[in-house]
Structure 1
């Protein structure tokens, strides 16, 4: 079985379990991270798997699944987590970026700050329209405020 299929099956189980659990942190979130680590022996790159998982979670508007995936990414080495986050965000429609960033910030994890700021800084260089830069600056300010308040 392909690694991606295994991850989807586990996420489906976690999703079912989360409906009967008040706090998603009570479920072993490391389970998802461990499965993503299997990337070394599967047919897709980790960045591609992360993109697919995040895109699906956003499409489903599944807050629990999105938080588990984000946490599994930010728990990795900083440089690798940043690259994966950047890569994954590039695959999400612009209208969904705010949703993703809000969930990212809601984790209240200070390790998320440099990844978020670095991503937004790079994203501005890639897409230099005035409107988008304004949006990203406001996202950054809001994200920092949320994390400082957490």
Structure 2
């Protein structure tokens, strides 16, 4: 799945590196892991790939996922996705950016979708999130809104239990 700077979604094919029998992301080509904790399947983790976020390091995660819910992460590594998703859980829902041990968290305690904090505090945290996200390399105006908007596409992006790759002759 390719996500454009204005949130448009396109599908495509990529040849990806394989390490010890597993297909791996390639952040140098903007091919990142996308991990979804799927509430429609007992919170099973679904792993795929996306591009367009341009992260050079770190991970983003949010519980604000339109239509199907859950937690979605975009990350340069699977451990980064895990860490960011665990921080969303620890916050009781929210949006998280993690880079080299530094973290910004916006708790979304109302159904994992809304904050109960005063507006000025939310705005300050949003600025921290965006600053850390920019240092990761992401050029999007609001990558968390983009992640949230991917909700309707997630089942199509993860149609099968294991990633299926089209192998050319």
TM-score over 0.5 for the pair = no
- Which structure shows the higher strand fraction? 2
- Which structure shows the higher helix fraction? 1
Q: TM-score, normalised by structure 1?
A: 0.28
Q: TM-score, normalised by structure 2?
A: 0.26
